């Protein structure tokens, strides 16, 4: 018998295990295994630790790590829908996009696009945790290669403004660029929760002139999240749809840890009802962005991010399981 070499035979006991005590082990998204291969995943959650395109307070590069940490608090079954995403799909933490040129926005966007393209090539449904909102543009470039997709965009901001400080790719512009590049169909786009002061109305005007449905937060509060979800479902139909969730859609009471907070926003409960009203759409990808831990208080924003990411994961797992059968 050859003698065992403890150096070579060592296997970390900290392989994520959803039934281990929740405070133990290395934090991964939803306590899912870190992917070792592209062959055994249906849904890939990955971090995009990037904040090079922010126009105001930075810090979203720290988002993925803290959302991973707070996602340790998630358990398996959604109490409202009874969906257990982990039974419906093989979910893996794909790690973070490995940046090599973080000081260049366009190069970083190319690296994000390449990472998502790799997952899509392996038939893995991509779910990105950001990162500032500029990351949605390269993700859409990867996803919409065969033509424009529908978009459900939940945010305080329309993110359809133009250049800032000489860059067309700042975090306030991704969906203007996505329209220009033919990545999203503006007539099949709904923006939900829009509010806050602006210096010009250019972004809102672009959204409405291009044909997007813009639901300002006053209308959201008046009609309620279930009615707005029903409208979004009807608008999107069975078209391939991308879901993008900016944490600043929440009121700063619930999500102070973000770069551009706006009062008058959604409660966490309203956000849950809204997302639960978006079941069984033809999802081709999703992201949750703008969690900025340096501005957080008691981890409430990262917790909200993790809990809403769980809701989105339930949506993705449900449709992914039906696609396989």
SS3 per residue for 85-152: HHHHCCEEEEEECCCCCCCCHHHHHHHHHHHHHHHHHCCCEEEEEECCHHHHHHHHHHHCCCCCEEEE
> Using the rule CB under 5 A, which residue among 66, 132, 155, 296 binds Mn ion?
155
Determine, following the binding rule CB under 5 A, whether residue 262 of this chain makes contact with Mn ion: no
Cα angle 248, 234, 246; round to 5: 10
Task: Answer for the pair 259, 56: CB distance below 8 angstroms, yes or no.
Answer: yes
Minimum CB distance to Mn ion, residue 188 (Å):
19
Minimum CB distance to Mn ion, residue 105 (Å):
16
Size of the site for Mn ion (CB under 5 A): 7
Determine, following the binding rule CB under 5 A, whether residue 51 of this chain makes contact with Mn ion: no
Q: Is the peptide bond before 131 cis (omega within 30 degrees of 0)?
A: yes
Phi-psi region of 193 (alpha: psi -120 to 50; beta: other; left: phi over 0): left
Determine, following the binding rule CB under 5 A, whether residue 296 of this chain makes contact with Mn ion: no
Nearer to Mn ion by C-beta: 93 or 132? 132
Determine, following the binding rule CB under 5 A, whether residue 287 of this chain makes contact with Mn ion: no
Nearer to Mn ion by C-beta: 28 or 260? 260
For 233, phi then psi, to 5°, come to -60, -45
Could you say which residues in the range 93-152 bind Mn ion, by CB under 5 A? 133
Minimum CB distance to Mn ion, residue 159 (Å):
4
Determine, following the binding rule CB under 5 A, whether residue 251 of this chain makes contact with Mn ion: no
Nearer to Mn ion by C-beta: 51 or 248? 248
Cβ atoms within 10 Å, residue 323 = 12
Minimum CB distance to Mn ion, residue 182 (Å):
21
Determine, following the binding rule CB under 5 A, whether residue 185 of this chain makes contact with Mn ion: no
- Residue 318 is encoded by which pair of tokens? 């449900």
Q: Given the rule CB under 5 A, which of 205-213, 214-222, 248-256, 291-299 is the region that contacts Mn ion? A: 248-256
- Residue numbers at the binding site for Mn ion (CB under 5 A): 133, 155-157, 159, 246, 248
């Amino acid at each position: 018998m050859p003698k065992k070499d403890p150096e070579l035979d060592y296997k970390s006991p900290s392989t994520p295990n959803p039934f281990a005590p929740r405070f133990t082990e290395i934090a991964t998204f939803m306590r899912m295994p870190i992917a070792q291969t592209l062959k055994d995943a249906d849904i890939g959650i990955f971090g995009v630790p990037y904040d090079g395109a922010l126009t105001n307070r930075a810090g979203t590069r720290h988002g993925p790590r803290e959302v991973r940490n707070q996602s340790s608090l998630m358990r398996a079954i959604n109490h409202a829908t009874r969906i257990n995403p982990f039974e419906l799909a093989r979910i893996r933490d794909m790690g973070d996009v490995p940046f090599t040129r973080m000081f260049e926005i366009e190069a970083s966007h190319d690296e994000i696009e390449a990472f998502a393209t790799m997952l899509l090539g392996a038939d893995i449904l991509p779910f990105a945790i950001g990162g500032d909102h500029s990351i949605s543009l390269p993700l859409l470039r990867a996803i919409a290669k065969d033509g424009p997709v529908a978009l459900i965009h939940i945010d305080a901001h329309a993110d359809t403004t133009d250049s800032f400080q000489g860059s067309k790719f700042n975090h306030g512009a991704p969906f203007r660029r996505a329209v220009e590049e033919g990545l999203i169909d503006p007539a099949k786009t709904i923006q939900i929760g829009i509010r806050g002061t602006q210096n010009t109305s250019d972004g809102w005007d672009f959204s409405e002139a291009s044909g997007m449905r813009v639901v300002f937060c006053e209308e959201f509060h008046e009609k309620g999240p279930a009615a707005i979800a029903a409208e979004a479902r009807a608008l999107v139909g069975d078209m391939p749809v991308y879901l993008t969730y900016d944490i600043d859609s929440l009121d700063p009471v619930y999500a102070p840890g973000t770069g551009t907070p706006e009062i008058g926003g959604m409660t966490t409960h309203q956000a849950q009802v809204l997302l639960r009203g978006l079941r069984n759409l033809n999802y081709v990808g999703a992201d949750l962005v703008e969690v900025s831990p340096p501005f957080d208080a008691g981890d409430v924003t990262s917790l909200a991010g993790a809990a809403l990411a769980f809701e989105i994961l339930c949506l993705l797992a449900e449709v992914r399981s039906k696609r396989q059968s």
